[in-house]
């Protein structure tokens, strides 16, 4: 049975690490606390469409990468 996960956490963390941006700075750009961002990153809560859009702009994530990160399947 195929299960839809919210996000590919590892791939998104890799993109953040390679971007050179601080985790807390990205959270601030999304108007989230570091705790709130971490909850979303760990699939505890969902990202809003506007947050996904902003993350893609900040990290220069293209449409294919966006779909792989935010709409991944197990």
Residue in the block written with tokens 């792989």: 68
pLDDT band for position 4 (cuts 50, 70, 90): low
pLDDT band for position 73 (cuts 50, 70, 90): low
The model carries a pTM of 0.84
pLDDT band for position 61 (cuts 50, 70, 90): very high
pLDDT band for position 72 (cuts 50, 70, 90): confident
pLDDT band for position 26 (cuts 50, 70, 90): very high
State the burial class of residue 70 (Cβ atoms within 10 Å of its Cβ: 0-12, 13-18, 19+): buried
Q: Which two tokens stand for residue 51?
A: 């947050």
Q: What is the pLDDT of residue 71?
A: 83
- 3 state DSSP class of 74: coil
């Amino acid at each position: 049975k195929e299960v839809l996960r919210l996000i590919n956490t590892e791939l998104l963390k890799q993109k953040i690490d390679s971007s050179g941006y601080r985790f807390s700075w990205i959270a601030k750009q999304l108007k989230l606390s570091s705790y709130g961002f971490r909850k979303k990153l760990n699939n505890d809560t969902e990202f809003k469409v506007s947050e996904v859009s902003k993350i893609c702009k900040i990290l220069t994530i293209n449409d294919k990468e966006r779909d792989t990160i935010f709409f991944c399947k197990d």
